Structure 1
Amino acid sequence: MTETELHLPPARAWVGPLLLLGGGMLIGLAPIGLRMGLDDLGPQAIAFWRYVLAIPFLFALLILIERRMPKRLNKYIVLAGTFFALDIALWHWGLTLTTVANATFIVNLGNICVGFAAWLILKEKPKPIWFVAVLVAVTGAAFLSLGGETGGKSDIRGDLLALGAAVLVSGYMLCSKMARGKLGAMDVIFWLTVVEACVAFFIVLASGENFFPATLSGFAAPAFLALAAQIGGQGLIIAGLGRTPAAVAGIVVLIQPVVAAAISWQMFDEPLSPIQGGGAALILFGIWLSQGSAREKRKSRQSKSSQKPATEPT
């Protein structure tokens, strides 16, 4: 840790969680965009074009902002991109069989699991308040998923596909966190998208779906996903992962099912019951609680800084 980092203003400690929160809200639009495009393309082709259409924009942003070519990718980006593309493939498939709230809740269990994986692999031991935040957030997510009216569109096959996606998303989050330790956010999101497009190409081939829609209007939904979910959502999450412990990040991005369920209430006739509304509130409370570990870490840094010898160079 550098001397500059030790003396950052307290407000800067919120930058990472705020980036993750914004990214999670934009990713919450992903299932909405998917359902908008299913009349023109299959779920795997939509994912493929989501990545492909985002690549030139990400490359242009890297050139304009960083004024350089992308740095060389590493093995963590290849792993993270592969995990994410397979995760989205299962999730998109599952979304055609179950409700938006169900699929989004189940796949986001992987975000919680990444906290335990980071503890074991990255030695990022979470603070005690994190376990309370996990319990609150997962309970809220369960209420959001299971508290709806009976006779809905849920299908066990879709739920099982979403469960497989949850396992993959934990690997994506962990490898992305490790990649951020080597490269900047813009390099990581660019190369992640390239890897995801390559993997998605073979997934579309295996699925037998058509690569192209019948009309140009069929590209509208993938273009929306490219801008909102891929560039905006995933980009902000990658940036936030570099500033936030993986365990805390996994809880913050649970804002996704709240956004997805709220929008699908109006668009897809999947109304929220009072139990689901309470579940959404619990998720938001769990996100707030998860910041307790970040607050403790800031206090620890400030304490160490105040104890440094006066003769130490600044």
Structure 2
Amino acid sequence: MTQTVETPPVARAWLGPLLLLLGGMLIGLAPIGLRMGLDTMGPQAIAFWRYTFAAPILFILLIGIERRMPARINRYVIMAGIFFALDIGLWHWGLTLTTVANATFIVNLGNICVGFAAWLFLKDKPKPIWFVAVFVAIAGAAALSLGGETGGKTDIRGDLLALGAACLVAGYMLCSKLARNRLGAMDVIFWLTVVEAGVAAIIVIVSGESFIPATLSGFAAPAFLALAAQVGGQGLIIAGLGRTPAAIAGIIVLIQPVFAAAISWQLFDEPLSGVQGAGAALILFGIWLSQRGMKRRRKIASKPSQETAKTHI
């Protein structure tokens, strides 16, 4: 008599990119929330409270869902948290010295650099179609960021700060990928947020900004960012990184400026120009094209092993 053994379902190849796409859209709310809170609090202080409000929420979620304490932090989580907090700090600083268009475009290049960093450090060479997707996405990011009205003065110092932020974005994504390979998604996002809050506090002190807004309503913007951008956006991105190659992830999260532009159009009556609309379409096409570079997972029917594998959620 033969016994039928049910094998666990094969991981869905589309789940990782979907999590990254949704996470990128929520992260796209970050500049909107920042813009709405600048009247009552400085940009560095907003970032600090974004992380500080999110940390206890993530801790409660971890305890409630997985019913355990957070796993031990590792060096990759620490490095990723430092990279991300410094990225936000440099980008905000760069915005005061150069145009928003320049700073946004240059920082978005960091997401493209993730694939090259993964190729260099992880020996994870992407497929040839990925390079085509990169070219399309860069062209779209340039059109979206630089195709509108250019207000403000450009300054090479601001552009260099944005370039530094772009490098930090690549470091953040790469280290987050390494951390995600060793820890569960909820452990990584919780410890990332704790590290980011510590680094952001130092940045606030160095910048001379006040930690406390003039009125309690000033906490509304960072509270919104804590839920939408940090818990939702960054959390989904970390979860997606565990299921998606770093090179592909870097292109997918370019949905951020597209979603931010769409929201700004509705909230602030800032319609896109024809060039910007074409740029947004190119980014979406680049995201779709990058999926052609993912290796299709084959469903292999094999005899059940006597050992049970441990998996991270």
In the superposition, the TM-score normalised over structure 2's length comes to 0.90
Q: Name which of 7, 10, 18 aligns with 1:8.
A: 10
Deviation at 1:106, TM superposition (A): 1.9
Question: Counterpart of 2:214?
Answer: 214
Structure 1 equivalent of residue 154 of structure 2: 155
Which whole-Å CA distance do the structure 2 matches of 1:190 and 1:205 have between them? 23
Residue 244 (structure 1) aligned with residue 223 (structure 2):
no
1:184 aligns with 2:191: no
Give runs of aligned pairs for residues 3-42 of structure 1, distance below 5 A. 8=10, 12-42=12-42
CA distance in 2, matches of 1:91, 1:128: 31
CA RMSD of aligned residues (A): 2.0
Report the alpha carbon displacement of residue 158 of structure 1 after superposing the two structures with TM. Answer: 4.0
1:106 lines up with 2:106 in the alignment: yes
Aligned-pair CA distance for 1:269: 5.5
Shift of 1:270: 4.3
**Cα displacement (A) at 1:15:** 0.3
1:139 maps to: 139
Separation in 1 of the partners of 2:153 and 2:26? Answer: 24
Give 1:120 deviation, angstroms: 1.3
Distance across 2 between alignment mates of 1:70 and 1:100: 38
- The CA deviation string for residues 166-217 of structure 1, in whole angstroms up to 9 with x for no partner, is 1101000000000001100000000000000001111111000001001110
Q: Specify which structure has the higher proportion of helix.
A: 1
* Residue in structure 1 matched with residue 296 of structure 2 by the alignment: 298
Within a 5 Å distance, the mapping from 1:223-238 to structure 2 comes to 223-238=223-238
Q: In 2 relative to 1, CA 129–243 (structure 1 residues): closer, same or farther, beyond 3 Å?
A: same
Number of paired residues?
Answer: 299
- Distance in 2 between the 1:163 and 1:21 partners? 24
Q: CA deviation at 1:159?
A: 3.6
The aligned residue for residue 50 of structure 1 is 50
In the other structure, the counterpart of 2:124 is 124
Does the 8 A contact of 1:112 with 1:251 survive in 2?
yes
Q: Is 1:165 matched up with 2:155? A: no
Task: Kindly provide the CA deviation profile for residues 128-169 of structure 1, in whole angstroms up to 9, marking residues without a partner as x.
Answer: 11111101111111111121134x246335443322211101
Q: Name the SS of the counterpart of 1:105 in structure 2.
A: helix
Residues 27 and 193 (structure 1 numbering): CA distance in 2 closer, same or farther, change over 3 Å?
A: same
Provide the residue aligned with 1:75 in structure 2. Answer: 75
Following superposition, the deviation at residue 99 of structure 1 comes to: 5.4
2:264 corresponds to: 264
CA contact under 8 A between 2:22 and 2:233: conserved in structure 1?
yes
CA distance in 2, matches of 1:65, 1:154: 49
- 5+ unaligned residues in a row in structure 2: which ranges? 1-6, 306-313
Amino acid in the other structure paired with 1:8: V
Q: Residues 271 and 101 of structure 1: is their aligned pair in 2 closer, same or farther, counting only changes over 3 Å?
A: farther
The one-letter code matched in structure 1 to 2:29 is: L
Contact 2:105 2:146 in 1 (8 A): no
Distance 1:259 1:154 in 2: 26
Once the two structures are superposed, residues 257-311 of structure 1 have per-residue CA deviations (whole angstroms, 9 ceiling, x without a partner) of: 11122222344454321011000000000000000022xx115x34xx37x7xxx
Seq. identity, %:
79
User: Which stretch shifts more, 87-96 or 139-148?
Assistant: 87-96
> Any gaps of 5 or more consecutive residues in structure 1?
none
Which residue does 1:201 correspond to in 2?
Answer: 201
